[in-house]
Structures are given as structure tokens and as C-alpha cells.
A and B are shown apart, each in its own frame.
Chain A
Amino acid sequence: MSLADGPLALGSGGELTTRPMGVFARPGEAKGWRSWVTTVDHKRIGIMYGAAALVFFVIGGIEAMLIRLQLATPDGKLLSADLYNQVYTMHGTTMIFLVIMPLGAAFMNYLMPLQIGARDVAFPRLNALSFWVFLAGGLVLNSAWLLGGGADGGWFNYAPNNGVRFSPTHGIDFWNLGLLIAGIASLVGAVNLITTVLNMRAPGMTLMKMPVFTWMSLVVQFLLLFAVPVLTAAQFLLMFDRLFDAQFFNTQMGADPLLWEHLFWIFGHPEVYILILPTFGIVSEVIPVFARKPIFGYPFMVFSGIAIGFMGWGVWAHHMFASGVGPISVAAFSISTMFIAVPTGVKVLNWMATMWGGKLTFDAPMLYSIGLVTMFTIGGLSGVTHALAPADTQQTDTYYIVAHFHYVMFGGGLNGFIAGWYFWWPKVFGYRLGERLGKINFWILLVGFNLTFGPMHILGLQGMPRRTYTYRDGYGFNFWNFVSTVGTFIIATSMLIFFANIFLSYRKAKKEQLSVPADPWDARSLEWMVPSPTPAHNFDVIPTVSHLDEFWHRKYGEDEEGRLVRIAATEDVVQKGDGRGVHLPSPSYWPIVMAFGMPWIAYGLIYNLWFCVLGGICVVAAIYGWIMEPATDPDAGHDDHPADHDEPSDASGEAVATEEAALVD
């Protein structure tokens, strides 16, 4: 395996030298842990997002297994009622904010700049900041387990239940401050990636030539940009209530707890699309490759994504049908919710039409993608059933809802990410994940998933309430609960197979000195035009784009009868990874220093305000260090500078969009 010149090494920017810059010498390492801590490379940041998400996935998975073990039999004794509340709250929060969201960020960070033909994101240091701040938030949230117990009010922590009176431990404070910090990460990331998509596209890459994944990333980042501040506002109110005795949710003073519910779900419903649209983008990339057909109805794919983004703002009260918002609100939100099924349905139909008549091959990425399409459709259909308010009042707070959103988030979300792992793994790490284990992995996961969450539909319709730590014998809940618990272990097994696959494939590739070509799947978009693993500078020359599926069109054309013919050998089209004279943004300590200060502010708010001062000094110092430090170290690697300072573009006479990967950030 050729990691030596792969993502663990800084590419052809020339030798980096250090020079004093404020209190720190500018980091210059290209390898080792320090190079990761100070990296501003979008690819490494993407990898770190993915790795962190997997660690949190294991934590959230253990919490899920505890829940299922508790519910395996009636009158379970494993968890107390109090601990059960904490475990399911932390399970939901972890999986949503620390697993699926950062997995989306991982894929977007790694792929989106490559897909638009850029050398990096618009603000590489801010990108690093996003990651480290996200990690800080995740650690604050989970540190609750060591400091007196986790939050216990459900992932939405409804008022007034979230007040000190009803939840006297600091669990909800950790939840609140951890997510506030993670929200800063999301917001910074959204600003950064929106700017990147708008501004960093290669010449000729108009918006309607961008791959669907990039489009979905853009929609997601806009949703984050506008949804996160709503949650932030709500969380500040909660923080003031809990820590500074404000009266926002004190009903005895005339406050209205529905305010929290509204603010939470104004964020919460767009959040659903923040979670699912990245994987919609991923399967929209995978399916055309394994059907050997362009995506069916590209503009519909794009506009349905945008439509989902817009309409997602007008449906939030469907989470509140049972809260007494009044008949007019219920009717209006019920109708708008039914409408939002339309663009989602358009996507499902387009995926099927893409496969229809295609030369299908069922490699692991394709299997998971089909898994997403089918499982998500089941979840989508059960979702439509609770758009109908009368049915919803029956389903609210039962396991039917739990079944629904796991089909959407796990069957839709996670399946798509695993599809993405199998698909892009060679591009990122330079070796392929084993195909045989991948298929076994898929089928076991599919069985385990349906055994775990399928029965919950039945349990829910039978009336089994969610968020209740046990059930009594004789209600008819025993059998399906047991089946569901068995399913959880099958899911766990399949995930172990996945981790084993990573390890075994890595060992095999290393032993047999296997390397992967730039384009192992005969794929369509620009990221496959660079060597695997991607060199640090991405593109030797920035491609000039004239088609949707640019890379495909460089390989294939049509003959007179409109049949697909190869017009160029892949080896002649792909780049060699030997670019010279490329300036890369220099690594920096400041992002991690700034992120380091934030947990201290959080702990200070909870325990002692003096900590806030320390954390604040750290953050402010980092901001000033950041401003004084040029984004690209002027001392770094100027030796091999081309004389004319112009970067060659692969189409002569065209303007080059990006000269250096980054401007000042």
C-alpha cells in the first residue's frame, strides 16, 4: 500500500520550512501525529471527521445495545429507569449529532472540492477549526458520563422537563453546551463549504454541471446555515434558564413550554434533511456508475433536492400534532407534510429509472445503495402515515415512530454512508475493501436491520410506548421485543465484519503490494481523474469542464448510431499526481488551539466562571494568532515556482479559476 505518498504525506508543495510566528513556530511536519493536528488539508480533515464519527458510532451503538438488552424481556433489570432515560437520550443525540452529521461532513469535505475541481476549500484553516470544534463539542457532551450522568429528556429535551426542577443533574447542561459548541462547528462549516461551492469551481463547472453529491452538499450546507442558529437561540434560552435562573420555560411565571418545542423543531425538521441528503447524494453517484448510465433526470434530481430544502422549513409542527397547537395549525402542517413526500418520491423514481435498462453490476457499493433506496422507501411510507394527524395521534410516542425514523436514518442514512465507504475507500486510502466480505457484510446488515426495526412497527401499533424503561408481561410485547434485540446483535456482528474488512483488506494490500488505479470503477466524476490515493495537491492541472460527468465524457463518446464508444484510454485521461509549483495552504496550530478553549468555557459555565476566563483567553489568543499568520506561509516551498506565475490549465486559452488553493481565511 502506498500510503507513503498518499494522504499521510504532504504532496508537491516543496519542502516546508518553519519560522517563528507568534508563540508557535509554523508547523512544518508532513508526517506523524503533529501533521494531522495542524493539517488544513480538506482530505485529511474529511478522514478525521469520518474516524471521529466511527468512534462515536461505537459509543452510540453500545448505548443502543444497552437499550435493547434492557427491553429483551419484560421487567428488564439491566438499567434503572433513570439510567435508561440517560442512555436513550444520549444514544439519539450521539447518533444524530456525532455520527450521521459528521459522516456527512466527512464525505463533503473529502469529495466536494475534488468534484468541483478545486485544490481545497475556500477557507482551509476554518475547515480545520470546524472539525476540532465539533470534536470538542462531542467530548463535552459525552464527558457527562464521567461527571454525574447524561441528559435524560430525549434528544429534543422538551420544556419544562428540561428545567433544573425536573432534571437536577448537569446532564442536560452538558447536552446543551456540547451541542452549542458542535453548532458553532456546523455553522463555520456551512459558511465555508457554501463559499467553496460558489467560488472554487473549476473553469466551465457551472452549477448545472456539478455532480449530484455536490449539489446535495450545497443544499445541506444551506440548511445548516439557516437551521443551526434557530437551535442555538433555543439552547441559549435553555442555558440561561438552567444556569442563570432566567424564566423562559418556567410555566409558573407564565412562560410557554411550546416555545421550546417550536424552536427545536424549526431546527429539527430541516435537520432530518441535513442527515439524509448527503446519502441521497452518495447513492446518486454510485448508482449511475454501477448501472453504466447517466443519472436519470439530472435536473429533476437537483431541483427535487432544492425543493426538499425549501419545503423542509414548512413542516416542523408535524412533530407537535399531539401538543395542542390547534386544529388549523395541525391541518396546515399535515397538508404541507404530505406535499414534501413528492420531491422525495421523485428522487426514488429517478434512482429506479437510472437502474432501469442499465448494465447492472452488484458490487458492494451498489448493494448498499439499493439497500438505501428500498429501506428508505419503507421509512418514507411509514412517515407519510404520520402526516395524517388522526393516525399520528395514535402513533405518537409509540415504537411505530421509532421504527419509522430508524428506517429513514439507519436504513436510509447509514446504508448510504456504507455505500460511500465501499465506493470511495480506494480513492481515499489507496486500497480496496474486500468485495466478498463486503457482500456478506451487506446481507447480514440487511437481515439484522429489518429484524431490529421491522418488529417495532408492530409493537408501536400494539401500543408499546417509547421512552419507557420496561414493560410488563402479558401485554403481547414479549416476542417482538426479543426478536428486535436479537436483530441488534446481528447488526453488531455485521459492523464487526466491516471493521474486520478494513483491517484484512489493508493487510492484504500491504502484503501483496497491491495498488489501485485512479479509476477502479470506471466512474464519472472528477475525483476519479486523480491518482488513488489522492495526492495532497489534488489536481496536477485544474481540469476545464464542459460536461456533466466530465470525466466520463473524456473517456466515452457516441458513434453515429448513438452507441456508447470509448474515445480515450483511462490511463491517458487520468492525471499522474506529479504536479509541481502548486502552493498549498500551510498547516496551522491555531484552529486546534481555538477549539481547545471552548470546552473550558462550557465547563466554566457549569462549574466556575473562572474557567470561562481561561477558555476565553485561549480563544481570543487563537483568533489574534490566526489573523497575524498568513494563510500560506511565505517561507514555504517557493523554489519550484513557475516563472510566469500562471498555472497551466488543461484547455489552452481558458482562464484558470484557482491559482492557489486558498485565499486568506
Chain B
Amino acid sequence: MTDLADTTAVGAHPGAATHDHTHVTATGISNEKVAMWAFLGSECLLFGGLISTFLLYKDRAADGPVPHELYDIAFTSISSFVLLMSSLTMVLAVSAISRGDDRALRAWLLVTALLGSIFISGQVYEFKEFLNEGLGFTTSPAGSAFFTLTGFHGVHVTIGIVMLISAALLSRSGRITQRNAEAVEIVGLYWHFVDVVWILIFTVVYLIK
């Protein structure tokens, strides 16, 4: 703890030169960034609970099918890849605004949102397939756990898409500029987090049998 006391003593520099709106804080990090990371730390416990629930229940399906019999790994690999690439486009959006390139910012934000939407469409398609094959939300503990975990993640992605589009609109109306580029960075943190959660889910839920 003492080393924490050291790094957080008196005003280090508040990030990059673009943050001229940022007031000096005791740690040198903006409040928004500290808050977002604290929130993401908290989200780990939420998703951890849902992943554990799934692991515990994944084979408890009474007479119905278990999720493992229904996975289409090729399909999910592609949608995972799409989500992974959306992290790249998100980084490029942050990079664009830190250069002050508003048009590129909006372009990359919308591409990111589009990739996210493709992922969500894939999830909707997958859910439909599972329903057709007899695994529903209410069929069994395994079904409930699978749909809850992936559904929670899907809701997070959807909220992220709304945030991305909102950020693009705010940029258009001149409310997000190079001055407050950090707003985009923080939306990006949320988006990347949703991506890393899927990295966990893809391996733990889909690939490990």
C-alpha cells in the first residue's frame, strides 16, 4: 500500500497534451478514467458469477440438449473475430480524435458500432438456432445459464453500440472535440472490456468441452 501512497501523492501530469480540460487531480489521472476502471473491476465479479453459474450447470439439462451439442464453432469463431476487430477500429477512433481528426473519429466509431451490430445479429441467429433445436431459456439449468451469460454479454454490447453512436452524434454537434478526446477513450475502455469478456466466454464456454 505504501507504493500506492507514493504514486498517488501530488499531481503527476494529467495524461497527454490533448487533455487540457483535465484539472489536476491527486493521482494525475482524470476522475472519469479512475471511475471507469473501478467500474470495470467491479464488472469482473458480475461476469465471474455468471460464468461460474454456467460452468456449474453446463451439463445439467435433464432430457433436453446441452449447449455443447449445439455449438457451431466455425460460426462463433467468425463472430468472435468480428468483435475482436471492432476493438481495433475502436482504438483507431481514439487515435483519430487525439490527432483532432473529427471525420475519421466518426467513421471509426460507426465502423465499430457496425461490427458490434454484426456480432449481435450473429448472436440473435445463434439463439434462434438453439431454440429450434430444443434448447430454450426455460428448458433446463444449462439452457438458463447459457442464455443468461451470453445474453448479459449481448446487452453489454448493445449498450456499447448505443454509446458509440451517441459519441459519433456528439462529435457531429461539436460536443466531442480534441479537447475532450478522453470521453472517446473512456467509451473505448468499456468497449474493449466487452471484447475481453467475450475472449473469456469464447474459450471457456465454447472451446473447452
Contact = CB atoms under 8 A, between A and B. Distances in A.
Interface of A: 122-123, 187, 190-192, 194-195, 198-201, 203-208, 225-230, 232-234, 236-237, 240-241, 244-248, 250, 253-256, 259, 263, 302-303, 306, 624, 627-628, 655-660, 663-665
Interface in B130-181: 137-141, 143-145, 148, 152, 166, 170, 175, 180
Contacts of B144: 237, 240-241, 246-248
A230 B42 CA distance: 9
Contact of B42 (A199, A203, A226, A306): A226
B199 interface: no
Closest 6 CB pairs of A and B: A233-B49, A229-B46, A246-B144, A199-B25, A254-B60, A207-B5
Contact of B31 (A123, A246, A255): A123
A202 B175 CA distance: 31
Contacts of A245: 137-138
A188 to B, nearest CB: 9
Contact of A664 (B1, B32, B166): B32
Contacts of B74: none
Nearest to B36: A191
Interface string B19-33: 000111111011110
25 contacts: A187-B39, A191-B42, A195-B35, A199-B27, A200-B25, A201-B26, A204-B10, A226-B41, A229-B43, A229-B49, A240-B148, A244-B138, A246-B148, A248-B144, A254-B61, A255-B57, A256-B56, A627-B166, A655-B10, A655-B11, A657-B10, A657-B24, A658-B23, A658-B25, A664-B180
Contacts, number: 147
A250 B43 contact: no
B76 interface: no
A142 to B, nearest CB: 26
Interface in B39-71: 39, 41-43, 45-46, 49-50, 53, 56-57, 60-62
B34 interface: yes
Given A198-B27, A657-B26, A663-B31, A247 B42 contact: no
A248 B53 contact: yes
A207 B9 CA distance: 8
B94 to A, nearest CB: 18
A157 B57 CA distance: 21
Contact of B5 (A206, A226, A248, A665): A206
Nearest to A188: B39
Given A253-B60, A655-B10, A198 B26 contact: yes
A308 B173 CA distance: 49
B138 to A, nearest CB: 4
Contact of B137 (A199, A206, A246): A246
A191 B9 contact: no
B143 A247 contact: yes
B45 A229 contact: yes
Given A204-B10, A205-B26, A246-B144, A230 B38 contact: no
A379 B22 CA distance: 48
Contacts of A255: 57, 60, 141
Contacts of B170: 627
Contacts of A657: 10-11, 24-26
B77 interface: no
A232 B61 CA distance: 25
Contacts of B152: 236
Given A199-B29, A240-B144, A259 B10 contact: no
Contacts of B8: 198, 206-207
Contacts of A628: 175
Given A240-B137, A658-B23, 20 more contacts: A122-B34, A191-B39, A191-B42, A194-B35, A198-B34, A199-B31, A203-B10, A229-B42, A233-B46, A233-B50, A233-B53, A237-B144, A248-B148, A253-B62, A253-B140, A255-B60, A656-B24, A657-B11, A659-B24, A665-B32
A306 B26 contact: no
Given A233-B49, A248-B141, A208 B23 contact: no
B187 to A, nearest CB: 11
A187 B141 CA distance: 28
User: Of residues A195, A201, A657, A664, which shows the largest number of chain B Cβ atoms within 10 Å of its Cβ?
Assistant: A195
Given A233-B50, A247-B139, A303 B1 contact: yes
A225 B35 CA distance: 11
A194 B148 contact: no
A230 B45 contact: yes
A208 B35 contact: no
Nearest to B62: A253
Contact of A192 (B27, B35, B49, B50): B35
B203 interface: no
B32 A232 contact: no
Nearest to B167: A627
A190 B49 contact: no
Given A199-B25, A229-B43, A237 B148 contact: yes
Nearest to A224: B42
A655 B25 CA distance: 10
Given A199-B26, A199-B31, A247 B41 contact: no
B42 A187 contact: yes
Contacts of A658: 23, 25
Contact of A207 (B4, B41, B61): B4
A333 B24 CA distance: 45
A289 B25 CA distance: 31
Nearest to B138: A245
A301 B141 CA distance: 46
Contacts of A229: 42-43, 45-46, 49
Contacts of A256: 56-57
A256 B55 CA distance: 12
A251 to B, nearest CB: 10
A71 B2 CA distance: 52
B56 A259 contact: yes
Contacts of B62: 253-254
B139 A263 contact: no
Q: Which among A208, A232, A245, A255 has the highest number of chain B CB atoms within 10 Å?
A: A255
A644 to B, nearest CB: 16
A88 B129 CA distance: 46
A429 B48 CA distance: 44
